[in-house]
Amino acid sequence: MSNLDQIKENIRTFQEEKPLSEEEMKGLLTMAEEMVRKIVLPCTACHYCVSHCPRGLDIPTLLAFYNEHCFTNGGFIAPMALSSYPKEKLPSACVGCRSCEAVCPQQIKISEAMSDFSKKLNM
Ligand code: SF4
Ligand code: SF4
């Protein structure tokens, strides 16, 4: 909430105990499924992969940015954050060796994600 009107509107909404109709619930679940579908990679940030990367990439953080970027349909947060990274730590520094994938318990295709992210970022 960023202003008084929004606060008042939210208070009005939550004062009333009115469950969603079946149709509203269906719409909400469809929207939620779409949001989850857009979060493309189930990285749990376990960091198992990090010590296996010959380029020393911070894979979980890059994947978090990748997910955010996909989720927001190319939002500005990832490019802005990554613009402060040195070139050798960007997704484009990935050499596609797949050492990380061999140890990832989520079986994420990390090298493909890095390549796709690099194209999307154009950096
Ligand atoms: S595929 Fe890329 S991210 Fe994975 S270990 Fe190799 S260089 Fe690092
Ligand atoms: S090993 Fe897989 S799940 Fe764990 S941080 Fe790396 S990419 Fe994410």
pTM for this predicted structure: 0.77
Query: Distance from the CA of 110 to the center of ligand 2, in angstroms?
Result: 9
Q: What is the DSSP string of 3-72?
A: SHHHHHHHHHHHHS--PPPHHHHHHHHHHHHHHHHHS--------TTGGG-TT---HHHHHHHHHHHHHT
Q: Classify residue 34: in a domain, yes or no.
A: no
Instruction: For ligand 2, atom 6, name the residue with the nearest CA.
Output: 49
pLDDT at 38: 67
Q: Classify residue 15: in a domain, yes or no.
A: no
Q: Classify residue 44: in a domain, yes or no.
A: no
Name the closest ligand to CA 50.
2
The string of pLDDT tens digits covering residues 93-106 is 999 999 999 999 99
Q: Which structural domain, as residue segments, surrounds residue 84?
A: 50-121
| Number of domains into which the chain is organized | 1
Query: Distance from the CA of 41 to the center of ligand 2, in angstroms?
Result: 10
Q: Classify residue 88: in a domain, yes or no.
A: yes
